[in-house]
Amino acid sequence: AQSVTQLDSHVSVSEGTPVLLRCNYSSSYSPSLFWYVQHPNKGLQLLLKYTSAATLVKGINGFEAEFKKSETSFHLTKPSAHMSDAAEYFCVVSEGSSFGNEKLTFGTGTRLTIIP
Amino acid sequence: NAGVTQTPKFQVLKTGQSMTLQCAQDMNHEYMSWYRQDPGMGLRLIHYSVGAGITDQGEVPNGYNVSRSTTEDFPLRLLSAAPSQTSVYFCASSYGVHSPLHFGNGTRLTVT
Please provide the DSSP assignment of A58-90 as one string. Answer: E-GGG-EEEEETTTTEEEEEESS--GGG-EEEE
Residue A97 has pLDDT above 70, yes or no: no
For residue B45, list chain A residues with Cβ-Cβ distance below 8 A: 104
Alpha helices in chain B (DSSP H): none
Q: In the prediction, which pLDDT does A8 show?
A: 95
- Measure the CA–CA gap between A47 and B81, rounded to whole angstroms: 34
**How many alpha carbons lie under 13 Å from residue A56 in its C-beta half-sphere?**
3
Mean pLDDT (chain B, rounded): 93
Q: Tell me which residue in B35, B43, B100 faces A46 most closely, judged by beta carbons.
A: B100
Give me the pLDDT at residue A101, please: 45
pLDDT higher than threshold 80 for residue A15: yes
CB within 8 Å: B105 and A41: yes
pLDDT confidence of residue A29: 75
Q: Is the pLDDT of residue A114 over 50?
A: yes
Residue contacts between A and B (CB atoms, under 8 Å): 53
Averaged pLDDT, B71-100: 92
Task: Give chain A's contact residues with B (Cβ, < 8 Å).
Answer: 9, 32, 34, 36, 41-46, 49, 51, 90, 94, 96-100, 102, 104, 106-109
Strands A10-14 and A110-115: parallel
Mean pLDDT of chain A: 90
Helix %, strand %, coil % of chain B (to 5):
5, 50, 45
Question: In whole angstroms, what is the distance from residue A18 CA to residue B75 CA?
Answer: 42
The residues, ordered by sequence, that sit 6+ positions from A86 with a Cβ below 8 Å of its Cβ are: A112, A113, A114
